[in-house]
Structure 1
């Protein structure tokens, strides 16, 4: 027996001192019923103790390893039986025989790890001399193998849970460091809302907001939306939840004083039951985009109004030149001077427009 390898397998199961579990309790109950014994245990042998994952018929949760019976299975014995412990020199002075639970009869089958190490036993106990028939012994061994299978399945489940938790933590870290806000929102038919998840980017939306606050008070976000946008925000939100249509909406968030930020919310809704719709969405700061849209509108206005005058002048001069085929040198010089004036006006305007645009670009890059 390799005690180091055995204990390593036992500790890797992460089962010692764990809470009772129904499937192990059903095994001990079934073992007692099949074998006709008042006590049954799933016993795991630690370095200095034997600890009971499941106990049927008594209150003790662990004993000293040296006082017990189960460690006699560690040499590879497929079945271990003591018909009368009071008459066996190995056990007659054990406190488990001379005192509670007053063991007289013991029968156990080994519980093993996937690598073949013996971890403990599924055993039945009586407080008087007894014995098991062939079928009962075979049944006890089958139940012990079932306990072995449960331990293996339990370890796989724990590993999967850890992997899921690790993946979830990694995903949360990624989402929390993704620009903007990523969220999952539940909307009930009565329009009560709750967040399953919201990334820490919400702190960038307004200094008074946080992911914890949003989860605790989901509707508090409405208090920070610009008053002129709140009602339309509510209406469009209700419409999306009712029709399951994709949701896009631009709105403003109030900051200190008259300062505002523009945000765009994008949502994909999905109904998960008769009363609940889930929103999978993002919230992005589009202030710079909205600012540039305003700039472009202003540029368009300037082009259509400011340039109109010189263009009209050029068109008039062009018409005059076409209508007068015979012009003196003085007339041509006068028309040429007028054209140069218009060209200079256009050049000044385009230079100012270019300077204004470049300043906006620099300002945008600084903020980004």
Structure 2
């Protein structure tokens, strides 16, 4: 039957006691093996164990006659032993109902006889057992039982000694570590003053390795004889008894119950001397017997060097370094002030009054109460003090200072402050000017007719001027950027397609893009406001991006005018097209002689009328085309086809027009690529570019047409002429509607000014882009790029 379960609190305390001895899972030790040998010999058993029980197992610190290190606790005999008092004995386990079916009985090691004596701590906890086991039934004699009990007590004493030994070793190691890491020189001596140890700081301070100090008399080795003699004489007079000029000079005050720290100049190995602050402490054992002394020597030379260095550093600090002692009785003082007090308060450190009065009187009268209250508050709460206030400097006049200090509570209840006061007049002046500038900027932003919105690097909106609030009908709110499009009702230029967060100009600028004239719409209460967005990232002085800003310009009225113009032009163009077609056709028939011979006096007039009617027809066609493009009504039938035949067709179609200007067309290189385009629209673009080149080329020149593959999966088609080139003033609007370099009534070349604008729209509708390169007087090269694929990779 299983053992009874002890009460949880008692068992937890027992386990804690077991862990305190730090013996579980430790290596074998011969001292414990001796006890199992004795127990086996005395009790005449083949098996003897020192067993310790934790919460789930019994572990054997020493074992004789058994190979395993541990067994489960729930089948152990020792569990029964530790739950009782005295020896627990089982004569025949196979006949005992508590153990008859125990696997330790029914199988190896085939336990029949068991006797265990508990290992009991001084405070009454049974940690385990000393047990003996036999494979046949039997009983212990009274002498054997007594011997087993005595052996268990000796094992427990061994536990205690082992624990005490570990504690002593830990303390010794800790003491040695403290000695080795001490900033002061530490010398350990015997009771008669001979050195038994020295830490590394002592070796460095006096120049001796420890081996040269150990065994030497401390005072003979390190103390000047004349200094010892003088101190011995003084002590003899003070104590009323003779003190010999030796180690007794250091220990005599201790005998009288006095502990003193005294400055000495001790001897260095190189013959020099070392200024130190010396302290001597006695070492007593547990019986209060004197075992020796610890002599600590603090290096005053190092302290003097540090003080000098502090003074040098303080002299370089802009401002006044200080220590200020605030006492509850009101007797406050400055234990230390640097020379910078002259810069801040106009008084010298040498003439500094010990009280706070002279300093306090230099504070501007309007600031004194605030300064006093802040000091009291910081002294009460022991929180860092930081305050900017004004000082009436005797030479500089009114200045601004920044005071910072950290308070430390002292044992006597006073508060010692360590702080710095600096002149911040220039910074305050700059801050006042910056505040004024920021206020002016704020007013300017509020007065702008454009909407201005800005955010920080995390996407938090930081600026929302008056126009932005009016246009959105909202103010800036702390919402994630992902909610901007929906919350602020941001749409594409059509005013119907909602923007995604990645399309919002401010978000694009936050990712590092520069946005120029991006058209979009703001829809508020069903009203569409069309705007142009210009956005840029913002950067801090260290080059890190600090946020982004977008400026929105309202083009709603312009859009409405454009729509009205487009509707008007479209209406007029449609109304003119039918009668003009009839007029042009009629004039063509007359000029062609279909109606008979034309009188000589009318021939020139009719030819002029015919040419101008054709020009007017071309203008109307261009107007209708541009109207369809902007209205999105022009159909594109895109078809994948090789590029070269399209260029050859363009040359053939435009050669006659070039001949009329006495220039020639030359088709150059063209890669074998496939492009997906609307053939008619591409020919319209090529005709525009070739006809423009013909018009502006000198007589007899050659216009070059060629194509080249780009490395980004596009092909560039170029048309180069040798005309006058594009002037700087015309470059920005060359692709605009009705744009012409010479817009006067007497211009030499005709044209509607719509051809390049139409070409741009057509190319962009076919996923391409158009541009030009030109130098005034050196001709122009117009080009467009389209996506392409090699002929062999194109689908059938």
What's the TM-score, normalizing by structure 1? 0.51
Are 2:65 and 1:69 aligned?
A: no
CA distance in 2 between partners of 1:288 and 1:59 (Å)? 68
C-alpha distance after superposition, 1:70-98 (max 9, x if no partner): 01022223111112222222222222223
Determine the C-alpha separation between the residues in 2 that align with 1:10 and 1:81.
23
Q: How much does 1:8 deviate?
A: 0.9
User: Aligned ranges for residues 188-267 of structure 1 at < 5 Å?
Assistant: 199=200
Counterpart residue number, 1:99? 107
1:158 to 166, 174, 188: 166
1:63 and 1:286 map into 2 onto residues whose CA distance is 70
Separation in 2, partners of 1:60, 1:162? 32
* Aligned counterpart for 1:140 among listed residues 133, 148, 158: 148
Query: In 1, are the aligned partners of 2:267 and 2:273 still within 8 Å (CA)?
Result: no
Contact between 1:114 and 1:152, CA under 8 Å: does it hold in 2?
no
Question: Is the CA contact 2:32–2:61 (under 8 Å) kept in the aligned structure 1?
Answer: yes
Partner of 1:43: 51
Corresponding residue number in structure 2 for 1:4: 12
The residue number in structure 1 matching 2:308 is 366
The offset of 1:45, in angstroms, is: 0.9
Q: Is the contact between residue 182 and residue 283 of structure 1 (CA under 8 Å) also seen in structure 2?
A: no
Q: 1:131 to 1:285 in 2, by over 3 A?
A: same
- Name the residue aligned to 2:118: 110
Partner of residue 89, structure 1: 97
Q: Structure 1 residue 178 and structure 2 residue 178: aligned?
A: no
Change over 3 Å in CA distance of 1:130–1:170 after alignment to 2: same
Query: Is the 8 Å Cα contact of residues 172 and 199 (structure 1) preserved in structure 2?
Result: yes
Please say if residues 41 and 54 of structure 1, whose CA atoms lie closer than 8 Å, have aligned partners that are also in contact: yes
Count of paired positions: 226
Q: CA shift at 1:365, angstroms?
A: 6.3
- Structure number with larger C-alpha Rg: 2
Tell me how far apart the structure 2 counterparts of residues 365 and 247 of structure 1 sit (CA, whole Å): 30
Matching of residue 58 in structure 1 with residue 66 in structure 2:
yes
Q: Matched residues in 1 for 2:129 and 2:273: separation? A: 70
Is 1:182–1:199's contact at 8 Å kept on the other side of the alignment? no
Alignment map for 1:229-308 (pairs within 5 Å): none
SS state at 1:86 partner = helix
RMSD: 4.1
1:78 match: 86
Instruction: Structure 2: give runs of 5+ residues left out of the alignment.
Output: 1-5, 190-196, 223-265, 275-303, 311-796
CA shift, 1:52, in A, is 0.9
Mapped pair 1:17 → 2:25: yes
Q: Give SS of 1:90's match.
A: coil
User: Which whole-Å CA distance do the structure 2 matches of 1:135 and 1:201 have between them?
Assistant: 61
Contact 1:31 1:40 in 2 (8 A): yes
Give secondary structure in 2 for the equivalent of 1:103.
Answer: coil
Question: Per the alignment, do residues 89 and 285 of structure 1 end up closer, same or farther by CA in structure 2, a change over 3 Å counting?
Answer: farther
> 1:111, 1:145 within 8 Å by CA — same for their partners in 2?
yes
**Deviations 1:7-61, CA, capped at 9 Å, x for gaps:** 1111101111112222211111000000000110111111101111111122211
Identify the residue that residue 136 of structure 2 maps to in structure 1. 128
More strand by share: 2
| Greater percentage in helix | 1
Highest relative contact order (Cα 8 Å, sep 6+), 1 or 2? Answer: 1
The one-character-per-residue Cα deviations of 1:318-351 (angstroms, maximum 9, x if unpaired) are xxxxxxxxxxxxxxxxxxxxxxxxxxxxxxxxxx
* Alignment deviations for residues 249-284 of structure 1 (CA, whole Å, 9 cap, x no partner): xxxxxxxxxxxxxxxxxxxxxxxxxxxxxxxx9967
Contact 2:92–2:138 (CA under 8 A) maintained in structure 1: yes
State the SS of the aligned residue for 2:143.
Answer: helix
Partner SS for 2:149: helix
Deviation at 1:183, TM superposition (A): 11
Q: Distance in 2 between matches of 1:282 and 1:113?
A: 54
2:82/2:129 contact within 8 Å kept: no
Distance 1:115 1:282, change over 3 A: farther
Distance 1:80 1:363 in 2: 74
Measure the CA separation in 1 of the matches of 2:71 and 2:27: 17
Q: Deviations over 1:275-322 (max 9, x none)?
A: xxxxxx996798898xxxxxxxxxxxxxxxxxxxxxxxxxxxxxxxxx
Does structure 1 retain, via aligned residues, the 8 Å contact 2:119–2:126? yes
Counterpart CA distance in 2 for 1:21 and 1:282 is 50
Between the aligned partners of 1:79 and 1:200, the Cα distance in structure 2 is: 58
Whole-angstrom CA distance in 2 between matches of 1:364 and 1:71: 66
Structure 1 residues 60, 287: closer, same or farther in 2, change over 3 A?
Answer: same
Q: Is the 8 A contact 2:184 2:201 kept in 1?
A: no
- Alpha-carbon contact 1:85-1:104 (below 8 Å) kept: yes
